[in-house]
Amino acid sequence: MPRIKHVARTLDTRTGEPFRSAEEAWFWYTQCQLARIDGARSVASAGAASRPCDPDDIYRAVDALYRRRRIDRNHIGILGRYGLRLCPPNPDSGNGPGEFALWQEALDRLGTVLRQKGIVA
């Protein structure tokens, strides 16, 4: 019989404050990932505002959208590229309307999932 692993979560007495938008949640996730790369350990309750999720919850939402073919590699590439810049694509710049449309599409679909989970208000 396989052994079930249990990882205890830190209890936070603060109520999680939902993100205002999927874009805000995505940039928060990106910052958490960059901090992890630098060796930090991210938790939902570490910032000034307690969040209703862990960074991995946002990753899992994107992964589920990809697996259900609601977003594709192009969407993920745009999310990654502009997430690292911490700035959304500008439709009026030379990036082309295609990148902005992919960004909006990905965040719209991600926002729907995150709202259902209570992560986005």
Q: Does residue 4 sit within a domain?
A: no
Flag whether 98 is in a domain: yes
CA distance 109 to 113: 7
Is residue 13 situated within a structural domain?
A: no
> Rounded to the nearest 5°, which phi and psi values hold at 72?
-125, -170
What H or E segment, with its residue span, contains residue 31?
Answer: helix 22-37
Cβ neighbors of 86 (< 8 A, separation 6 or more) are 27, 30, 31
Does 70 reside within a domain?
A: yes
Structural domains counted in the chain: 1
Q: Which pLDDT score is estimated for 51?
A: 85
pLDDT digits (tens, 9 = 90+) for 65-113: 999 999 999 999 999 999 999 999 988 876 667 899 999 999 999 999 9
Does 66 reside within a domain?
yes
- Over residues 43-72, the pLDDT tens digits come to 545 566 788 899 999 999 999 999 999 999
Which whole number is the average pLDDT over 14-34?
91
Burial of residue 50, with CB atoms counted within 10 A of its CB: 0-12 exposed, 13-18 middle, 19 or more buried:
middle
Within a domain: residue 3? no
**What is the C-alpha separation between 3 and 44, in angstroms, rounded?**
27
Q: Which domain holds residue 35?
A: 22-116
Classify residue 11: in a domain, yes or no: no
* Any domain includes 7: no
**Could you give the C-alpha distances from 84 to 16, 38, 62, 88, 103, in angstroms and in order?**
25, 14, 16, 10, 13
Mean pLDDT of the region 16-38: 93
